Structure 1
Amino acid sequence: MTQELTSPSPAPQAPAPGRGPGWWRDAVIYQVYVRSFADSDGDGIGDLRGVRERLPYLRDLGVDAVWLTPFYASPQADGGYDVADYRAVDPLFGTLQDADDLIRTAHETGLRVIVDIVPNHTSDQHPWFQDPELARRRYVFRPGKGPHGELPPNDWESVFGGPAWTRTDRGDWYLHLFAPEQPDLDWDNPDVADEFAAILRFWLDLGVDGFRIDVAHGMVKAPGLPDIGHGEQAKLIGSQVLPFFDQDGVHAIHRSWRQLLNTYGGDRIGVAEAWAPNAERLALYVRPDELHQAFNFQFLNTRWHAAELRRVIDASLAATASVGAPTTWVLSNHDVVRHSTRLGGGLDRARAATLLMLALPGSAYLYQGEELGLPEVTDLPDEVRQDPAFFRGGRTPHPAGSGPGTGDDDEAVPDGRSGSSGQDGFRDGCRVPLPWSGEQPPYGFGPGGSWLPQPADWRTLTVQAQTGDTSSTLELYRAALALRRRLPGLGDGRMTWQPSPDGVLAFTRPGVLCTVNTLTQDREIPLPGSPLLASVPVTVNGGTAVLPGDSCTWWAI
């Protein structure tokens, strides 16, 4: 299945276009969910050529890099996170030549490229798993319990629901912390480490600028695979160390990968998708000899509440500062409810949260479509759904309910493919293809339809409809990213909290004050300076400023 290039790219000898050495410390990185971004061939599924054609849009938006979700050869049991061949492009998305062309064009456009790597598990169609003898050496197999081995080896649960074990025809059981089609690799076998080092080199030689590491908190399991002792284990992810996640042994893997990345020019990076129970454990992933970034999911999971936001911001900055790393902020991705819906309060609150995030020290990730203010699609019919959590969970919502930050009592279930997803408990609602132009679906997504149906009322949310409208969410993002590039006080660096009324956050960056009103009612403050940018218009009355409810304003001071 491995594909060949007509003219492979040489490994770059100088940094790719971007913001120079240490570019990742304050970069804004845009996540492209490839199958939902842009379709070039009319099959209703986004592809690499579609991404390449839309790179000027991302350049003009003002981001520094693009993160591409998996486009590798895959049976697509879990949106491509079940990889059958890490060195081949799935025909759904194009060819290896298309990947090479995309990387070249991105660099010419001034954008870096980060690709997903999936080291915790493969597809059950991977050649290793298809060979019974190889499988039992390179994946986690165990005999069952009970008189005849008829019971699973332990009580671990899949984060998609149900047992984390499946019995084979030979009577033993294999571990899959996700879908049964995603068997967990056994990282105690050195063959696994050697293979992934070779896979990383393959893509680095092709010119990629880094890797987002899926389930970076996985790979290593506690010795003896001990029972947990109770059910609903997915609720515990991100709140405590579990025998299958956030084990200390994962850090040796990340250190070896950092050493590999350091042998390449161009400041290549590793980004951890890691769920840890607190900021201090998350910071372990970005120690000087490990990875460069780790997504701050505790920030993502925080309610829209001034005191709680300040608490998580302080904890995050303190933890990363202790290891000399930047904090990496994120509000939305392909696994969680879009923050325009998740936070409650509608688009105004989402716009305010974005300006808050972009004013904080460090790097930030944007998820495709958030710059358009897209809401979660909550009314998809059952027959179009593809999230394995929907089928694995018996077509009942995951414990995530409507996700964090909505003021309800349900807790989000974290992790890369955990089910902390759509407002109805699944993830298809945040993966609906982008609207680019036109008055009706597929809104310029491609010459055909779209693999998930788009709402009929999205015509006002298209890129075309919002471009040039200074009140639109798209133009707000463009203005914010332009200011972030222009003002040296934003990005990486220091911040200082300032006195503020209850419900309001205020902090300074060099030359800039950020105020955030998390209440629904207006708040009046002494006029701090000249407004640079506001999520909704602010009113200035002489020496005072009126901050609207659910708003964020940047002030020049």
Structure 2
Amino acid sequence: MTRIDSSPTKPLSASTVVHASHEPSEWWRDAVIYQVYPRSFADADGDGIGDLPGITSRLPHLAALGIDALWLSPFYRSPQKDAGYDVADYRAVDPLFGTLDDFDVLLEQAHERGIRIIVDLVPNHTSDQHVWFQEALRSPAGSPARARYMFRDGKGADGSTPPNNWQSIFGGPAWTRLPASEDDGPAGPQWYLHLFDTSQPDLDWSNDEVKAEFEDVLRFWLDKGVDGFRIDVAHGMVKADGLPDWSGKTSMVEGTEKPAEQVVDPGAPEDGLVDTSVNGPMFDQDGVHDIYRAWHQVLAEYDGDRCLVAEAWVEPMERLARYVRADEMHQAFNFAFLTTEWDASRLRDIVAESLEMSDSVGAPTTWVLSNHDVSRHASRLGYEDASQRPAGTAGIKPTDPQPDEALGIKRARAASLLMLGLPGSAYVYQGEELGLPDHIMIPDEARQDPSFFRTNGEEIGRDGCRVPIPWEAAAPGYGFGPTGKTWLPQPPSYGTYAADQQRDVEGSTFEMYRRALEVRGEAELGSGSLAWVDEYQGSSDVVALLNRDVVVLTNLGTEAVTLPVGADVLVASGEHAVATEDSGATVPRDTTVWFRV
């Protein structure tokens, strides 16, 4: 059994300081932000799809949890080819989700509870039903209408070969050719770029009209009172000049595969950060930073510390830090943390590297473990072999080796408590506070993710992590809505995870999260420090850190860990042996505890 020096007169030592504390300042630096995927959160009108009034009705749940802000995935007018990430009107609410008045009510009632609202912005592409794209389809090559998008002539004498070899993130070619018309030039019908589905044409961000339009969209929602924006595909809006062919594999999750030969600029930028992109000519181009500097100035016109949050799957970490320099974004999701294996040394390394990179530009580190694009961490971590996990958006197929549900929830709770004990901001994905796993056994005929269809089922898609969450164990649809309808089927196991089975139940996942957020706020851990506990430096089994006066310890080994005599356990992810007068508490495998000595 491993133990820390248990002498009651000798405090733990933590001499390796990684990150210094700071006085709490802008709210987003240490906030815990809850992601709501609107169609799967709560349904007020009974059509089986979640909506804005449904979210408003569940605000008491979120207030009781103790979160600081909500991030709402898209609720804009959309044909819903990609669950709302194909936007047809950025200033309108889709009737599926309600009305602008419903949004105003949600915003007002959230603010009354001290909960801020961040909305999603999708600037890389629009829906093909957007008025701009419909105008482009009616306009000839070279017209101002087409200049808003990435229209190009094809290769070859008749233009029948796509402009380059890029592949869509959802599978298949990233180019679609228009039907022939009498307005076509010598090369025949043009092609348009879509890094995602064919219904999501990419905008051309070298176009001044595009830039002006999105600054106006920002002001529309800022005038309504939103507190910030999560920027979808924040690294993808600018493409390399000439749109060169690329031999790598386009991916939004777990980085990208490097091309066979990578050209690296040996010159470092003035800020000293390394300028080495491995993300291909469609991602992480330097021009995106000019866009965010302009947006930063727009937000600065408004009171209340409004924020910009980058969804940027960028490698290496030095490149990600560029998005959160002082005059650009305010946060960037730490996907390297999300994808790190359940391994003590690797977790320590990524935490230290993340804090070092964020500190180099004066930004907070923004921790995340799950979202609507990846398998929930209660499923990802359910494999005894830590290296066996779903890759990217492929998901877990019914025919794949299945995660152990009990192991997954045990590790997920431990991982979440570790994350919430780190300095910086943290994001919680809806249902995570209930311990939800993915629904792996969704029938093929019920699936809706475009990546499933564009890959002919080779990738199972993201539906498993998007299933409507359970509120009441005994109600139809587990209380998701008044009729019991749900747009995706729920697994039978969700009844045991329902919110009404966990509130005020000692040891439940919900109560663990609630208690952790309470302690985190009282101890100011979000604006706190991080130093490694010396007794566990280099351990292959334990991550142990000191944040202000709270020790956060995660046991990833097979043997129990004994705490010092007198250690006061504040919150734990699982059962642990209680301390006695002569012996410290013991922490079993795959468990995190917060304690003071």
TM-score by length of 1: 0.89
The AA in structure 1 aligned to 2:499 is: V
| Of 341-350 and 536-545, the range deviating more from structure 2 | 536-545
| Of 451-460 and 183-192, the range deviating more from structure 2 | 451-460
1:556 alignment counterpart: 596
Is the contact made by 1:524 and 1:547 (CA closer than 8 Å) also made in structure 2? yes
Q: What does the per-residue CA deviation read over 1:340-382, in whole Å, with 9 as the maximum and x for residues that have no partner?
A: 0111231110000000000001000000001001111000011
Q: 1: CA distance between counterparts of 2:110 and 2:147?
A: 40
Is the contact made by 1:372 and 1:462 (CA closer than 8 Å) also made in structure 2? yes
SS of the aligned residue for 1:346 comes to helix
Is the contact made by 1:440 and 1:456 (CA closer than 8 Å) also made in structure 2? no
1:518 alignment counterpart: 556
The alpha-carbon distance between structure 1 residues 494 and 21, as it changes in their structure 2 partners (threshold 3 A), is closer
2:120 alignment counterpart: 116
Is the contact made by 1:157 and 1:233 (CA closer than 8 Å) also made in structure 2? no
1:474 and 2:541 correspond: no
The alpha-carbon distance between structure 1 residues 495 and 20, as it changes in their structure 2 partners (threshold 3 A), is closer
TM alignment of 1:132-531, pairs within 5 A: 132=136, 133=139, 134-170=144-180, 171-230=189-248, 237-238=255-256, 240-344=278-382, 345-397=407-459, 425-448=460-483, 449-488=485-524, 490-498=525-533, 499-500=535-536, 501-527=539-565, 529-531=567-569
1:57 and 2:75 correspond: no
2:83 alignment counterpart: 79
Q: Which has the larger radius of gyration?
A: 2
Query: How far apart are residue 236 of structure 1 and its match?
Result: 8.0
The AA in structure 1 aligned to 2:312 is: A
Is the contact made by 2:567 and 2:585 (CA closer than 8 Å) also made in structure 1? no
1:12 alignment counterpart: none
Is the contact made by 2:470 and 2:499 (CA closer than 8 Å) also made in structure 1? yes
| Of 528-537 and 545-554, the range deviating more from structure 2 | 528-537
Q: What does the per-residue CA deviation read over 1:430-464, in whole Å, with 9 as the maximum and x for residues that have no partner?
A: 01101111325411111121111111222221111
Query: How far apart are residue 225 of structure 1 and its match?
Result: 0.5
Query: How far apart are residue 520 of structure 1 and its match?
Result: 3.9
The alpha-carbon distance between structure 1 residues 457 and 51, as it changes in their structure 2 partners (threshold 3 A), is same
SS of the aligned residue for 2:206 comes to coil
Q: What does the per-residue CA deviation read over 1:13-57, in whole Å, with 9 as the maximum and x for residues that have no partner?
A: xxxxxx985000000000000000000000010000000111111
Q: 2: CA distance between counterparts of 1:456 and 1:95?
A: 33
Q: 1: CA distance between counterparts of 2:453 and 2:195?
A: 16
| Of 543-552 and 446-455, the range deviating more from structure 2 | 543-552
| Of 251-260 and 223-232, the range deviating more from structure 2 | 223-232
1:96 and 2:114 correspond: no
Q: 2: CA distance between counterparts of 1:194 and 1:508?
A: 47
Identity level (%): 58
Q: 2: CA distance between counterparts of 1:114 and 1:202?
A: 14
Is the contact made by 1:436 and 1:443 (CA closer than 8 Å) also made in structure 2? yes
The AA in structure 2 aligned to 1:192 is: V
The alpha-carbon distance between structure 1 residues 139 and 232, as it changes in their structure 2 partners (threshold 3 A), is closer
Is the contact made by 1:21 and 1:267 (CA closer than 8 Å) also made in structure 2? no
Give the unaligned 5+ runs of structure 1: 1-18, 398-424
Is the contact made by 2:24 and 2:527 (CA closer than 8 Å) also made in structure 1? no
The alpha-carbon distance between structure 1 residues 546 and 215, as it changes in their structure 2 partners (threshold 3 A), is same
RMSD of the TM alignment (CA)?
1.6
Q: What does the per-residue CA deviation read over 1:521-549, in whole Å, with 9 as the maximum and x for residues that have no partner?
A: 42345447211111112223534442200
Is the contact made by 2:248 and 2:280 (CA closer than 8 Å) also made in structure 1? no
1:43 to 44, 47, 52: 47
Q: What does the per-residue CA deviation read over 1:261-308, in whole Å, with 9 as the maximum and x for residues that have no partner?
A: 000001110000011112111111110001110000000000000011
Is the contact made by 2:370 and 2:428 (CA closer than 8 Å) also made in structure 1? yes
The alpha-carbon distance between structure 1 residues 35 and 287, as it changes in their structure 2 partners (threshold 3 A), is same
Q: 2: CA distance between counterparts of 1:428 and 1:235?
A: 15
The AA in structure 1 aligned to 2:86 is: D
1:15 alignment counterpart: none
Q: 2: CA distance between counterparts of 1:231 and 1:283?
A: 23
The AA in structure 2 aligned to 1:82 is: D
Is the contact made by 1:441 and 1:455 (CA closer than 8 Å) also made in structure 2? no
Query: How far apart are residue 502 of structure 1 and its match?
Result: 2.9
Q: 2: CA distance between counterparts of 1:298 and 1:290?
A: 21
The AA in structure 2 aligned to 1:143 is: D
The AA in structure 1 aligned to 2:360 is: S
Is the contact made by 1:238 and 1:278 (CA closer than 8 Å) also made in structure 2? no
SS of the aligned residue for 1:156 comes to coil
Q: 1: CA distance between counterparts of 2:565 and 2:233?
A: 46
SS of the aligned residue for 1:147 comes to coil
SS of the aligned residue for 2:545 comes to strand
Paired residue total:
511
- Larger RCO (alpha carbons 8 Å, 6+ apart): 2
The AA in structure 1 aligned to 2:493 is: D
Q: 2: CA distance between counterparts of 1:462 and 1:391?
A: 31
The alpha-carbon distance between structure 1 residues 235 and 256, as it changes in their structure 2 partners (threshold 3 A), is closer
Query: How far apart are residue 86 of structure 1 and its match?
Result: 0.3
2:267 alignment counterpart: none
Query: How far apart are residue 230 of structure 1 and its match?
Result: 5.0
Give the unaligned 5+ runs of structure 2: 1-22, 181-188, 258-277, 383-406
TM-score by length of 2: 0.83
The AA in structure 2 aligned to 1:147 is: A
Query: How far apart are residue 137 of structure 1 and its match?
Result: 1.0
Q: 1: CA distance between counterparts of 2:252 and 2:29?
A: 31
2:4 alignment counterpart: none
1:404 alignment counterpart: none
The AA in structure 1 aligned to 2:591 is: S
The AA in structure 2 aligned to 1:210 is: G
Is the contact made by 2:254 and 2:313 (CA closer than 8 Å) also made in structure 1? no
Q: 1: CA distance between counterparts of 2:191 and 2:110?
A: 44
The AA in structure 2 aligned to 1:516 is: T
Query: How far apart are residue 493 of structure 1 and its match?
Result: 2.7
Is the contact made by 2:378 and 2:412 (CA closer than 8 Å) also made in structure 1? yes
Is the contact made by 2:254 and 2:336 (CA closer than 8 Å) also made in structure 1? no
SS of the aligned residue for 1:86 comes to strand
Q: 2: CA distance between counterparts of 1:66 and 1:392?
A: 32
The AA in structure 1 aligned to 2:438 is: E
Is the contact made by 1:65 and 1:112 (CA closer than 8 Å) also made in structure 2? yes
Q: What does the per-residue CA deviation read over 1:456-490, in whole Å, with 9 as the maximum and x for residues that have no partner?
A: 222221111111211110111111111111113x1
